[in-house]
Amino acid sequence: MSSSSPHALTAHWKKFLALGVAALAVVWVFAYIGVGHHENRQALSVLVGSLFWVSVLIGMLLLTMITRVFDAGWAPLVRRNWELLIEALPVVLLIGVVPLAFLPEFRHALWDWTDPAHVLAGGHTVGHDPILQAKSWFLNEPFFLVRIGLYVLVFGVLVTLLRRWSFAQDTDRTAGHTHRLHAVSAVGIPISAVALTMLAFDCLMALSYHWFSTMYGVWFFALSIRLALAVTVILTYKLSNGGWLDGLLNQAHRHVLGCLMLAFTVFWAYISFSQYFLIYTANIPEETFWYNIREIDAATGLKSEWWSVSMYLIFGFFFLPFLSLLFYRTKIIADRLLTVAWIILIGGIVDLWFNAIPRQVYDKSTPEGFVVTPFLTSSLLLDLAAIIGFGGIVFAIFLRGAAKHETIPVHDPRILESINYHE
């Protein structure tokens, strides 16, 4: 394989694998040391890093199935890259979320409700918490572990079926594979919707188990699609400059991706604001505390550092990409769309921080009886290391898959329409 070949990129999969393994080894060592000293912030880095890529890959899985169901003519060129990437979804769950859930020391450090001896902000223990007792039909360890296992199984089966029949079509040219893929996608979309909602409940919302929101799964869905589209734009930009999409991806494809980015930017904002507005209006203490600790410093009564993060989400993660994507030229000029994609990608990381990190930690020395996990700590670097580590694994799997399979689905019934797609 010559160095000028678009497929020469696939030779770098071992470098990405080495980067991912090295970064994750460092992160897991710090997480293990942290839980040994009764600190959970380092373990949160593993959770944030894995859930970032889980959300990206779930978004790509859904986009794969949605474009199949709607028989989207523009999609085959882009969809093949989603099919190569989603192979990493069950892998990231297995090396990230599963160990955190199944190893007792990490499970007790992250999810307070799994440790009956854990002292809550009010001074009483989890084992004597009436709120947990009321939710025990759902929040119990055996059922929790079963659900985590089911996420791996459900997403693993969907990924396997979608990839198997799509790649099989490259060799045997059987039209029946397209019908099978439509059927699997039609069934897989609602199954994935339930699975991603429950995953968001278990992995993120249950970190502060007193709080609840029925809109939380929809927020995670919107975030997943936004991140998936951002990674898609960044990846296709690279593959259009010396990669296997060079000369194939045109401004019409970018326009579709830009329109989808705009649509889901608005949808994310709508869901996020609606959740805040409904909780603010109802003014139920079991719900409002989640936002209160993210807005007000209980010790001073002033705005906390998490309030600044929320302002960034409003202006940096919503208004900036929203206003940019309103312009047609932003959606068709590759460099401009790439910039917006990076803005969304960074904002998605901040959104995960905002949802995962703040929590009330018991501290009898304070008048309030608790402190809130701070934002600006050295552990942010560990979070980024985890994101890089899991990302290395994801792209090692992607490039390895690209070396073994066709990177252009030449026998897809819509491939010529996709190559010649125009606005």
Residue ranges per structural domain of the chain: 6-125+137-408
Looking at residue 368, its pLDDT comes to: 81
Cα 40 off chain centre by = 21
- The per-residue DSSP string of 161-211 comes to HHHHHHHHHHHH--THHHHHHHHHHHHHHHHHHHHHHHHHHHHTGGGGTT-
Decide if pLDDT at 2 tops 50: no
Decide if pLDDT at 3 tops 60: no
- The pair of structure tokens assigned to 318 is 């919503």
3-state secondary structure 110-175: HCHHHCCCCECCCCCEHHHCHHHHHHCCCCCHHHHHHHHHHHHHHHHHHHHHHHHHHHHHHHHCCC
Percentage, residues of the chain above pLDDT 90: 88
50 and 413 in contact (C-beta within 8 Å)? no
> What are the tens digits of pLDDT across the range 247-276?
999 999 999 999 999 999 999 999 999 999
> What are the tens digits of pLDDT across the range 25-60?
999 999 999 999 999 999 999 999 999 999 999 999
Mean pLDDT of the chain, nearest integer: 95
Give me the amino acid identity at 132: L
* Interval 344-355 mean pLDDT: 98
Looking at residue 255, its pLDDT comes to: 97
Q: Which residue, 211, 219, 231, 220, is CA-closest to 88?
A: 231
Q: CA triplet 5, 10, 16: central angle to 5 degrees?
A: 140
Q: Which residues of 38-65 are buried (b: 16+ CB within 10 A; e: fewer)?
A: eebbbbbbbbbbbbbbbbbbbbbbbbbb
Decide if pLDDT at 1 tops 60: no
* Interval 179-192 mean pLDDT: 97
27 and 19 in contact (C-beta within 8 Å)? no
Decide if pLDDT at 101 tops 60: yes
* Interval 76-103 mean pLDDT: 98
344 and 230 in contact (C-beta within 8 Å)? yes
Distance CA 192, CA 65 (A): 10
Looking at residue 90, its pLDDT comes to: 98
* Interval 167-172 mean pLDDT: 92
* Interval 186-193 mean pLDDT: 98
Decide if pLDDT at 224 tops 50: yes
Looking at residue 124, its pLDDT comes to: 87
* Interval 127-156 mean pLDDT: 96
**What are the φ/ψ torsions at residue 300 (nearest 5 degrees)?**
-110, -20
- pLDDT class of 5 with cuts at 50, 70, 90: low
Distance CA 361, CA 342 (A): 33
DSSP 8-state secondary structure symbol assigned to residue 320: H
Sort 170 into a burial class: Cβ within 10 Å, 0-12 / 13-18 / 19+.
middle
Decide if pLDDT at 4 tops 60: no
